Structure 1
Amino acid sequence: MKKIYSSLKYKKRQRRRERKLLYRRLVSKFKKKLKRIRRQGKSREALREERVMSDFNKVTAPENFSFIKNPEETINFINKIEELYLNKKNVFINIKDLKFLDYSAVTILVSVMFSFKSRRLKFNGNFPSNPKLAKLLIDSDFFKYLDKPIGDKIEYEIGKENQIFTRANKEVNSELGLVVMVEASTTIWGTQRTCKGLQRTLLELMQNTNNHADINKKGEKHWWLSVNHDKVNKKVSFIFVDYGVGIFESLKNKPQSNKWYGWVEKIKNKLVYGGNDEIFKMLLEGQMHLTVTGEHFRGKGLPGINEVLGRNQISNLKIVSNDVFADVQLKKYFKLKSEFSGTFVYWELNENNVNEKWII
C-alpha cells in the first residue's frame, strides 16, 4: 500500500467523505419515505395531477361558473388568470367541483386560453366530475381550440348545434352572419327565415370591436362568437366576447381629435349618481351620443343593438363591460365590484321574435 493511503491526513479526509455519503443516503431514504406517505390513498389521476401541477399555477373556478348568473365571482376568477398571464406564468384551471356551467363561461375560457397561446404560455386544466357538465364542455368545441393555431379563418360545421367561432384582426365577416341566421331560423321555425335583427346585431358587434381595441393587451386581436341551439325550447342563444379593454376604458383614452374627447365634462350635469351603470344606460338609449356630440346617433353600435331589441327582433339582451352588468331586456343596470377587461354580450332568438319569409 502506498504511503499516502495510510497517512493520517488521507484517513481523515476519507472519513469526512464517508460521513457525507451516509448523510446523503439517509436524506434520500427519508425523502422517498415522505413521498410514499404522500402518495398513500391517492388515485393515479390525483398523482398525475400533482406531477402536472409542479409546472403550473392552479386557479379554481367558482362552483357556479357563469358570466350571466354569477358575474362577480366569474370575473374574479378571470382576473386571477389574467394576472398570471401578464406575469408570464403557466396556469392550471381547476373546474372539477363545478355545480353549474354554461356556454358564457366556456366562451370566456376559450378566449383566455388563446391569450396564453399567443404568448406561448402553458394552459391546462381538469374535467368537471359532474358527467352532464363534462359533456357540455366536450360538446362546446372547447377542446377543438386547445391545439388549433391562431388565425383569421372561420370554420363552420353545418348542422352542429353548438359552435364557437373566432376572427383575427377584428375584421367584420358578413358571410358568417348569413350562415348563422339560416341555421338558427331552421331550429326555431323549421324553415329558413330572414332575421334582420340577428344580422344587424352580429355586424354591429364585429364592427364595434375596432373601437375597443388595445394592441398591447390580452386577446384584443380576436373576437369570439358562441352559437348554441335549443331545439326543445325553439331558441338559439348567442354569446359575443371582445376581450379587449372594454367600453369605458376605451372612452377614457379617446384623443383630442375624437368627437368623444372630454365626454365626462359634457354629461356630468345629466347624471344623478355618476356611476358607470348610469352612464351605460345613457349610452344604450342614445342620450349620451346626443349630449356629447350634439347629434342623434345613427343607429350604430350598442345603441343600435338596443333598438333591435326594442323592435322585438332579438330577446334577453345582457351586456357586461368593465364594471357594469346590464340586463337590457329588464332595463336593469348594476355596478359590479370587480372589473372585466372587455365586453361580453348575450342575446337570444326565439319563435316570438320578428322575422320575415325567406326570399331567394
Structure 2
Amino acid sequence: MKNKNHISKLRIKLYQEKLERLKRKSASKKRLQNIANNKRVSSIRETKHKNESLFNQPKEATVSSKSDFTLLDFPENVLSFIKMVDEVTKKKKYKTIFFDISQVTSIDIGSIGLLLSKINELSTVGIKVKGNFPENAPCKKIICESGFLSHMNDMKGRRFNYLRGESNLMVSRGFDRTSNVLVGSAIRKAVKHLTGVDESYRPLYSLAQEMCANSVEHANEHHHSKNWLFSVTYKNADTVCFTMTDIGRGILGTLKRKASQIIKEVLLSDDKDILGRAFDKQYTSKTKDINRNKGLPKIKSIADNNFINNFVVITNNVLLDFSNNNNSKLLNKKFDGTFYYWELNKKCIETWKIRKSQ
C-alpha cells in the first residue's frame, strides 16, 4: 500500500515538474518573440512561384521592416528598410517586391510618405510592389487615414475603398511642374481648420514651393528618380503636420565646395555641420544653377521666425532639428533624398500677421 502511495505521489510530482517545464518553455518562447519583434532586422526573402522551374530566378522578393517604423523617432529603422529595397532593385532580377510591415507597432506620416515615394520610383522601372497591413490596429488606422491608399490598388487592380481622414492629403507627383492648385488648396484648408478663416498663408506656400520645385528640377540627373510627395495630416484641432519627401541625391550630394573648404571640413567638421552651413548659403551648387540651393536660407528663415514649428530635415546621413539642436545627429544609414517635416498652429499664423503689420 505504501509503495502504491509512493508511486502515486511520484507520478504527481513528475507531472507537476513537467507542467513547470512547459510553462517555462512557453514563457521563454514568448520572451524571445518579444525581443525579436523589438529588434527585428529588415530582411530580404525570395519567393519562387509554383509554375517556375528550379532553374529560373525568383520573381518576387520580400522586404520586412522592424517593429518601430517611425521616421522621426527611429530614422535608421526606416532608412534600413529603404536601403534593403534599393539593394533588391539593383539586382534587376525581381518583377515584384513585397513590403512586409505586418509586425510594425509604431508608424508615422514620415515613414508612410517615404514608402509611397519609393513605390512611385519603383513603378517607373517596371517593378510592382505588393504589401500587407500592420497587425497592430492603431498603425493600420494611421495608414488608412493618411491618404496612402488613395494611390494604391488592391490585388485585383481596383482602388481601395478605405476612407482617408476627412482632410488628410498626399499629393504625389513624379516628373512635371509643382501642382500649385493642390498645394495651395491644402494650405488654405489647413489655415481655415486652425483659424476658421478661409485664407492663404504665404510663408507656408513659399516653403512648399521651394521644396517641391527643388525636387522636380534638381533632385537627380536620372529622370525616373525625380519625384516628390507633399502630405498634410491633421494631428488635432490645434496642429496640422506637413511633410515633403524627395527621392534624389539629397542636399549634401548637390553642394559644390572648394578644395580648401573640403580639407577644413574633413579636419574640423562633420556632415551635420556642413548641412547646417548649407542652410546659411555658404555653398554653391554642383549644377552651377544660379537658383540652386538659394531656397535653403529662405526655408531656414521661415523656421527661425517661428512661422512654422518643429521643423526637421533628414537628408543623406543627417537629421537636423531646427527647433531643438540637441536632437540633431548623424545617422548610421544613408538616405538618397531629402525629407522635410514641420507643423503649423494658430500661433504661427498670428506671429506672421503681427510681423507683417509692423
CA RMSD in angstroms comes to 3.1
Q: Which residue of 2 aligns with 1:182?
A: 188
Separation in 2, partners of 1:100, 1:224 = 21
Residue identity over aligned pairs, in percent, reads 24
Following the alignment from structure 2 to structure 1, what is the Cα–Cα distance between the partners of residues 71 and 123? 22
Instruction: Report how far residue 264 of structure 1 moved.
Output: 4.8
Render the CA deviation track for 1:208-254: whole Å, top value 9, x for unaligned.
1146422437x52321111111233x111111011011112223xxx
Question: Would you say the 8 A contact 2:102–2:134 is kept in 1?
Answer: yes
Task: Tell me if 1:102 matches 2:108.
Answer: yes
Letter in 2 for 1:342: G
More divergent stretch after superposition (326-335 vs 108-117): 326-335
Contact 1:187 1:231 in 2 (8 A): no
Corresponding residue for residue 26 of structure 1: none
Counterpart of 2:137 in structure 1 is 131
Aligned to 1:237, which of 237, 241, 244? Answer: 241
Q: Does 1:343 align with 2:338?
A: yes
CA displacement 1:164-192 (0-9 Å, x = unmatched): 11223252333333212210011111222
Please give the alpha-carbon distance, in whole angstroms, between the structure 2 residues aligned to 1:186 and 1:114: 31
Q: Does 1:326 align with 2:335?
A: no
| SS of match in other structure, 1:209 | helix
Counting only pairs closer than 5 Å after superposition, residues 82-93 of structure 1 correspond to structure 2 as 82-88=86-92, 89=94, 90-93=96-99
| Alignment partner, residue 14 of structure 1 | none
CA deviation profile, 1:247-286 (whole Å, cap 9, x unmatched): 12223xxxxxxxx4x4353364477633111101111133
Partner Cα distance (2:90, 2:222) in 1:
11
Whether the aligned pair in 2 keeps the contact of 1:299 and 1:307 (CA below 8 Å) is no
Greater C-alpha radius of gyration: 1
In the alignment, which residue of structure 2 is the partner of 1:79?
83
Instruction: Give the total of aligned pairs.
Output: 285
| TM-score (norm: length of structure 1) | 0.71
Q: Which amino acid aligns with 1:341?
A: D
Cα gap change, 1:245/1:288 in structure 2, threshold over 3 Å: closer, same or farther? closer
User: CA 1:299–1:242 in structure 2 vs 1: closer, same or farther (change >3 Å)?
Assistant: closer
Q: Against the structure 1 CA distance between its residues 181 and 216, is the aligned structure 2 distance closer, same or farther, given a 3 Å change threshold?
A: closer
The within-5 A match list for 1:124-163 is 124-147=130-153, 160-163=166-169
| 2:202 is equivalent to residue 196 of structure 1 | yes
Larger mean CA deviation between 302-311 and 270-279 belongs to 270-279
Work out which structure has the larger RCO, using CA pairs closer than 8 Å and 6 or more positions apart in sequence. Answer: 1
Runs of 4+ residues over 3 Å off in structure 1: 50-55, 157-160, 266-272, 286-289, 297-300
Q: Which residue is 1:225 aligned to?
A: 230
Distance 1:99 1:287, change over 3 A: same
- Unaligned 5+ runs, structure 1: 1-49, 149-156, 252-259
Confirm or deny: 8 A CA contact 2:317 2:331 kept in the other structure.
yes
- Secondary structure at the aligned position of 1:97 is classed as coil
The residue correspondences of 1:1-360 to structure 2 (distance < 5 A) are 54=49, 55-88=59-92, 89=94, 90-147=96-153, 160-210=166-216, 212-216=218-222, 220-232=225-237, 234-251=238-255, 260=256, 262-266=257-261, 268-269=263-264, 273-288=268-283, 300-332=294-326, 333-353=328-348, 354-356=351-353
